[in-house]
Structure 1
Amino acid sequence: MIKRMFLAVVLLSVLVVSCSDDDDNTTSPNSNLTLNLNGLEALGDDYVYEGWIIVDGQPVSTGTFSSVTFPQTFSVNTMQLNEATMFVLSIEPAVDPDPAPAATKILAGAFTGDLAMVDSNSIVGDFSSASGTYILATPTDMDDTNEASGVWFLDNSSGSPMTGLNLPTLQDGWKYEGWAVIDGTPVSTGTFTLVDDFDDNATTSPFKGDSGDGPSYPGEDYLQNAPTGLTFPTDLRGTTVVVSVEPFPDNSPMPFTLKPLAHMVPNDAMTHTVINLGDGPVASLSGSVTR
């Protein structure tokens, strides 16, 4: 009788342990979320990328990262992950007192089953139809001998300055920035959000001349206070002109990865004459997110 009771207790214990193991396996609170993203660049020490899933219309963080080597996998609450309708990637301060996503969102996409195909087109801007023109000129000084030392994103083919850039309105958290890559060094023309108005540094640029701010379009005269290793005035023929899309705020003095427009200035380019921009090296970012 005692032996039979002992065996019953042993069998009951085995059953309880087995059931407990099954419960643990079926009620695990977290599941894996795997990111495979293309084209992201390291942000430096002050900023990180942060993933978000949208659950019942609310953002839920999936974690931050600074490495841009993929795939990367994150452990996320299973119930929330299963209910998520969308994935969004933002750029956040490395030390961030705000638990909500920043305005600077770089990738987004809706889940279809366990897969979300994400891209930058809907969350930053769609540059598939972007185009533009520029001229070489230095309107901020009275010297006509250095006209190839300035670049202005406008169209003067009608005899009067007109808008030269065809670019979409950016979402919050982003700005455009012009560049001239001089002897391998990118030198900013200034940031801007409107293609038909002064850029943000029109009145404060250290490079422009002393005779005004130039026309009310994005652009820059490289006439004085050259960065170390360069000499102003210069000749922009043979250099590369770029329009990039920059996070705002932006802690890097270098162009961001999104560069929808670019053009190497012809060696025989005439000053005060319209030149067409071409497609830039990176107009969109993309990737996949798997739950």
Structure 2
Amino acid sequence: MQKYLITGGAGFIGSNFIHYLLENYPSCQVINLDLLTYAGNLENLADVAADPRYHFVQGDINNQELVERLIKTYRCEILVNFAAESHVDRSITGPDVFFQTNTQGTLSLLKAAKNQNIQKFLQISTDEVYGSLGPQGYFSENSPLKPSSPYSASKAAADMFVLAYAKTYGVNANITRSSNNYGPYQHPEKLIPLMITKGIQGEKLPIYGTGENIRDWLYVGDNCRAFDAVIQKGRPGEIYNVGAHSEHSNNEIVHLIIDQLGLSNDQIEYVADRLGHDQRYALDNSKIRLELGWQPRTIFKLGIEQTIRWYLEHSGWWQK
């Protein structure tokens, strides 16, 4: 029986991973520690709330005493850190909380993991730590870090602490840096759910700048399989890029959603570009493919159809 402490498990990717664990590991135990800020939503896990293998605790990852007590009480062996402030626009107007949660919070978890001899520490990071990419090529795990926003800077700093704890103290830690995720339970402030929910309500669809910024889009279920592969087989101290090689501009995304929902192009509204807006992200995923045997399974067209259907069927979830 593997026992997990999941931090930030009430958020988008964390809640999907908890569902993944409970569906694929009948004998696992999952402790979910989440502060329940605006992006944390216990409704994401309402269907497993009564599962005896799952237990929720509301609390702050900066509370090292609480984290260590949870590890000891539940004999947790694996700590997966999803807890993060992740909205770039919010980081530009209020960077302090991003440093407190993403950087200081990660350090607090690392100290707890070291003190309690956690068997595996997995830090969930982002491709944004690499900065902006030109029209060609891909970021590898050895690419220099050039964060463009307070959000990505706070995540890059956290990654450095993880690597330092792996080297200095021998903590069995890994980092995954994934491309843009999409799928069920994603907060409506993010691009895809924002466009879906505004489209359903007949509102304008705001696109930054010219809409030609490009991202590699990864279905959240595929990312959950990558986390699992790294936890089970990842080499200590290693970073693994998790990309889908499915690049689309913001314009392409919005037009696809318009087509799926039967909307009009007249709903598109171009707005002033975001400060420090990176042009393109794309990841070389050869390391995780060759070392761990992972590869994406969800074709983007099918994944976006599934995602749109989920938001159509769960209007009560996002309207709140």
**TM-score tier after normalising by the smaller chain length:** under 0.3
Q: TM-score, normalized by length of structure 2?
A: 0.24
Structure with greater Cα Rg: 1
- TM-score relative to the length of structure 1: 0.26
